[in-house]
Chain A
Amino acid sequence: MRRMLIAMAVLLVWPCTGFAAELMVKVPVGEYRETRNKLDDLQRQIDAMAGKPLKPRTVAAKTPVGDSRETKNKLKELQRQIDALEGKIAKTPAVAVKKGEVAAKAPVGDIKYSDTKLRRLNRDISEIYDTLDEVETAALLDRINLGAEVRVRMDNYQVKNYQPMYVDFTPGSPTFGNWLVGTNMVPMYPAGAAATPFIENERNDSNWSSRFRINMDGDVSKTIKFAARLALQKNWADSMGVFMSTDNNRAHASDGTTNLKVDRFYIDWTPKFFTPLSISFGRLPTSDGPPLEFKEARQRQSIYPALIFDGEPDGIVATAGLERYISLKNSGLRFFYAMATQYDADHLSMNYMDSVTNDLYQDNRVQAVFFETELPALRDSLLVLSYVPAKHILMQSPYSSVGAAESVDNLGDITLYGAHLQLPNLFGSGLDFFASYGQNRNKPSGNTIDFAGVNFGLFSSSGNTPLDADSATTETTTGWAWYTGFRYELPVSVLNRPKLGFEYNRGNKYWFSFTPGASEIFNRLATRGEAFDVYYIQPFNKNLFLRTGYTKIVYEATGSGMPFGPPMEYVKDMMMPEEPEFHNFYILLDSRF
């Protein structure tokens, strides 16, 4: 038993000794010697006063000889000094430092200064640790990072040969008109809209609007990330009538309110799995996609090319990483399930398109597959191949009462194919290039919805109007569009490297894709015709830039952005003497942080 206790004691003492050694005060050599010298001097004085013989190497003492009482007092005083010195040494902070460092920096000959300095250092380090603890705790509690964007924009646009379509949902007296000539549709048009004038040439010289966004993101854990965005878009000076600002294809249409809308919110979960896989769900980042980041002077904002899908659907995405299998950098396959348009029958509302409150669009399911990769030898390049089948386009007759389930019809299927390529900073030249192609195959089911006596199907019609001429209700049609452009960063450092961009897109009369998320004042990529866009970006610093540009759209067929009704070519079908045109000069200031 005794041996065991001794062994245990030895085992305890051994590591404690080592630990104690770590805590030992390490006094600089210089200071140590100085202290020893002072102590020796004191000792000599004490010895002299005590009448002891001096050590051989020391200088002869000149201590005056006094009476024994005085000597005793001096001894006591010296003893106090010695005790004080020893106490200071004992209290020297246990800061383990390298001899060389402190010895080199510590002033020689002033032990009080070194002592104070060490104590101050110790106190500072303790305070720093305390502060770090507070900061770390606060950082861990700040689960969501916040950012903001502010934009003010002024549009000066001109409209020629333009007349909007309209549907009046007034109960009991619904009306519909201008399909033959209308360029864009204006649902929920106020009663009496039939008097909407034809616009030969008119200008809105100052349409001011603001956009405010709050961006949020956070690392919930090592495998879960969160992101969201709240947005406000407000018109604050638009005295002109309807025109393009009522383009109902726009999800981001401004209005007069200051309401915040949730643009996106999603969780990105990348579990530890035998193969690279991530699951994302929520209101997904599917607006302002490539290549719109060039024009917006920012990083990529969406998973899908803008020409194919630019909206804000709620859904689920499964992403499989392929880089380790096919040796293509950043390659992956995305499986996408979402509702391209949504309808809530319980609350008689449709919240997908901000500016649309009608019940035309019902739940339209989209199950898509996207493949994307970076091309070899082209750094940061992006190639996206898209396959987006939208089966059973469900729509409701506006003629019927709101929410009437029996009026909902399946108009058919639309299948979208797309290829997008973009090459940013080509070979380090400052030139960004992109090209995008989309094709949609439309298969009408033969069903129609009733627009005040005119029956519209998917890209078709049947009824008792001149539209009967195109009433191929089950004929498959093919639409297409291509979209290309570039952006060049001018190598002028004095001007913070401004950027010059040009874009062009063209769609045929059957072109349709899901692009209501456009952040312009019109849905440019849905154009059945052609659109030119040139812009100049002037950065002031990394948080603020100005963009000014000019856009021209020439519509060649009716119903851009609408999947129902037969598209009519303006000149060919002689419905209008000239093609409608839209010209817009704009300038905006954008700041984000």
Chain B
Amino acid sequence: MKKVSIFLVAFSWLALITFAWADDGGEALFKAQCGACHMRGGAAAPVNPGDKAARVWVKYFKRQRHPVELNVSEGKMDLIIEYLENHAADSDQPQMLAIPK
């Protein structure tokens, strides 16, 4: 019981600290910034990180191939690109028999 208590205290302590560090992350930015246009029925076709390989995503933005000028700060853009890289077509993918929708 003592060990369990220690675990719970440690967990709570970490949780409190981590909430202070919390940020939106690349995924939230991607959904908010890119998803504004790239959605079904939106101004642009839907886009997924898995549409391109990680290196292709980096080159895509480095060469400014996006047809519309993006109004996103450099820091946020870095987070979005990092998210795209981490979930790109050649990234680690789950193997768990996807659930059909």
- In the docked arrangement, what's the CA distance between A101 and B12, Å? 63
Contact yes or no, A321 B97, CB < 8 A: no
Are A428 and B23 within 8 A (Cβ)? yes
Q: Mark B12-35, 1 if CB is under 8 A from A, else 0.
A: 001100110111110010000000
Pick from A274-282, A412-420, A512-520 the stretch touching chain B.
Answer: A274-282
A266 to chain B: which residues have CB within 8 Å?
97
User: A576 on the interface (CB 8 Å rule)?
Assistant: no
Q: Smallest CB-CB separation from A215: which chain B residue?
A: B95
Docked-complex contact A319 and B99, CB < 8 angstroms? yes
Is B61 located at the chain interface by the 8 A CB criterion?
no
Residues of B within 8 A of A426 (CB): 15, 18
Can you list, as one digit per residue, whether each of B77-101 has a CB less than 8 Å from chain A (1) or not (0)?
0000000011000111111111111
How far is it, in angstroms, between the C-alpha of A479 and the C-alpha of B85 when the chains are bound?
44
Q: How far is the CA of A196 from the CA of B44 in the complex (A)?
A: 71
> Judging by beta carbons under 8 Å apart, are A277 and B24 in contact?
no
In this complex, how many residues of chain B approach chain A with their Cβ under 8 Å: the count is 29
Nearest chain A CB to B47 CB, angstrom units: 19
> When each residue 317-335 of chain A gets 1 if its CB lies under 8 Å from chain B and 0 otherwise, what string results?
1011101100000111010
Q: Which residues of chain A are near B7, meaning CB under 8 Å?
A: 484, 502, 504
| B10 proximal to A (CB < 8 A) | yes
Tally of A interface residues using CB under 8 Å: 46
How many Å from the CB of B56 to the closest CB on chain A? Answer: 13
Q: Is there a chain B Cβ closer than 8 Å to A437's Cβ?
A: no
Nearest to B19 among chain A residues (CB) is A429
B60 CB–A CB distance under 8 Å: no
Q: Most chain-A CB neighbours within 10 Å: which of B15, B18, B21, B93?
A: B18
Bound: A285/B96 CA distance, A: 6
Q: Is the CB of B19 within 8 A of A300?
A: no
- Assembled-state Cα–Cα distance A433/B90 (Å): 27
A298 in the interface (beta carbon within 8 A): yes
Contacting pair A319 B95 (CB below 8 A): no
CB–CB B22/A427 < 8 A: yes
Would A278 and B85 count as touching, CB distance under 8 A? no
Q: Does A389 contact B (CB under 8 A)?
A: no
Instruction: Establish whether residues A486 and B93, one from each chain, have CB atoms under 8 Å apart when the complex forms.
Output: no
From B18, B28, B95, contact of A429 by CB (8 A) = B18
B18 to A330, Cβ gap below 8 A? no
Contacts of A331 in B (CB 8 A): 99
Tell me how far the C-beta of B81 lies from the nearest C-beta in chain A, rounded to whole angstroms: 13
**Cβ distance A566 to chain B, nearest Cβ, rounded Å:** 28
A302 at the interface (CB under 8 A from B): yes
- Report whether B95 and A302 are in contact in the complex, using a CB–CB cutoff of 8 Å: yes
B14:A486 contact, CB within 8 angstroms:
yes
Asked whether A427 and B99 contact (CB < 8 A) given A299-B93, A433-B11, A592-B92, the answer is: no
The residues of B that contact A320 with a CB separation of less than 8 Å are 100
Q: Using an 8 Å CB-CB cutoff, how does the interface string of A417-450 with B read, 1 for contact, 0 for none?
A: 0000000011111110100000000000000000
Q: Which of B7, B18, B19, B99 has the most A CB atoms < 10 Å from its CB? A: B99
The interface residues of chain A lying within 8 Å CB-to-CB of B97 are: 266, 268, 278, 280, 284-285, 303, 317, 319, 334
Residues of the B chain whose Cβ atoms lie less than 8 Å from the Cβ of A217: 93
Chain A nearest Cβ from B70, distance in angstroms:
23
Do the beta carbons of B95 and A227 come within 8 Å of each other?
yes
A429-B21, A592-B92 known; A321-B14 Cβ under 8 A: no
A428 partner residues in chain B, CB cutoff 8 A:
22-25, 28
CA distance A332 to B97 in the complex (A): 11
- Residue of A285, A299, A303, A427 touching B19 (CB-CB under 8 A): A427
The smallest beta-carbon distance between A283 and chain B, in angstroms, is 12
Q: Which of B22, B94, B95, B101 contacts A276 (CB 8 A)?
A: B101
Q: A171 an interface residue at 8 Å Cβ cutoff?
A: no
Question: A484 to B24, alpha carbons, bound, how many Å?
Answer: 26
Q: Mark A330-342, 1 if CB is under 8 A from B, else 0.
A: 1110100000000
With contacts A428-B25, A429-B21, A488-B18 known, is A321 near B96, CB below 8 A?
A: no
Q: Does chain B have a CB within 8 A of A270?
A: yes
With the chains together, A425 CA to B10 CA distance in Å?
Answer: 17
Q: Is A542 an interface residue (CB 8 A)?
A: yes
Contact with B along A476-515 (1 / 0, CB 8 A): 0000000010101001000000000010100000000000
Whether A300 and B94, one on each chain, are in contact in the complex, defined by CB atoms closer than 8 angstroms, is yes
Distance of B23 from chain A, by nearest CB (Å): 6
Question: Roughly how many angstroms separate A502 CA and B6 CA in the complex, as a whole number?
Answer: 12
Of chain B, the residue at the smallest CB distance from A296 is: B92
What CA separation (Å) do A278 and B101 show in the bound complex? 10
* Cross-chain contact A323 with B101 (CB below 8 angstroms): yes
- For the complex formed, measure the closest distance between the CB of B29 and the CB atoms of chain A, giving whole angstroms: 11
Instruction: Specify which chain A residues have a CB less than 8 angstroms from the CB of B25 in the assembled complex.
Output: 425, 428
**Contacting residues, chain A, for B100 (C-beta < 8 A):** 270, 276-278, 319-321, 332
* Contacts A/B (CB < 8 Å), 5 sampled: A278-B98, A427-B22, A428-B22, A488-B14, A502-B7
The 7 closest A-B pairs by CB, nearest first: A332-B99, A276-B100, A429-B18, A299-B94, A321-B100, A300-B94, A431-B18
